Amino acid sequence: MEQDEIKKLKQEYINSLLESYKYSIEKFDHQSLYISGGALALSLTFLNTFIEIKTADCLLLFIVAIILFVLNIGVGFYTHFMSAQKIKERIDKVRHDNFDFKPDKLIPILNLVMMILLLIGLTILVTFCILNLLI
């Protein structure tokens, strides 16, 4: 392979990483804001519409659900930041002809934490709603 071909392939790879980076930013922003923000808005609307906060039973469940949604948003932003940093690191490595990429172990764990926080938060919120609608 000639040097010009290597440079061209290298630039194409950098461009594809940049596209992945842009796509990742867009998808992350939309998903984290829609899911966690929507859950927060829905839960606050439920509380204001159907139940008076002063008479709500198991209010601690509601508070825990809100905390989990906020944590989910925070972990999501941190995960996205770390992912963006990894992509930038790879771009720099490729620019210096270093193609030794080690798989990231932290980001998949943080993504799992986000899923767990969201699922537990939704479960607790639904439980709170059911308890207060039935009582």
DSSP state for residue 53 in the 8-state scheme: T
Q: With left for phi above 0 and alpha for psi between -120 and 50, is residue 84 left, alpha or beta?
A: alpha
| Spatial distance between the Cα atoms of 110 and 35, rounded to a whole number of angstroms | 16
Q: Which amino acid is at 132?
A: N
pTM comes to: 0.71
Q: Which helix (H) or strand (E) holds 122?
A: helix 106-134
Per-residue pLDDT 10s for the chain (135 aa) are 688 888 788 888 877 887 786 677 667 656 766 777 787 787 778 777 777 777 788 889 989 999 998 998 888 888 888 888 888 888 888 888 777 777 778 888 888 898 899 889 989 988 988 888 886
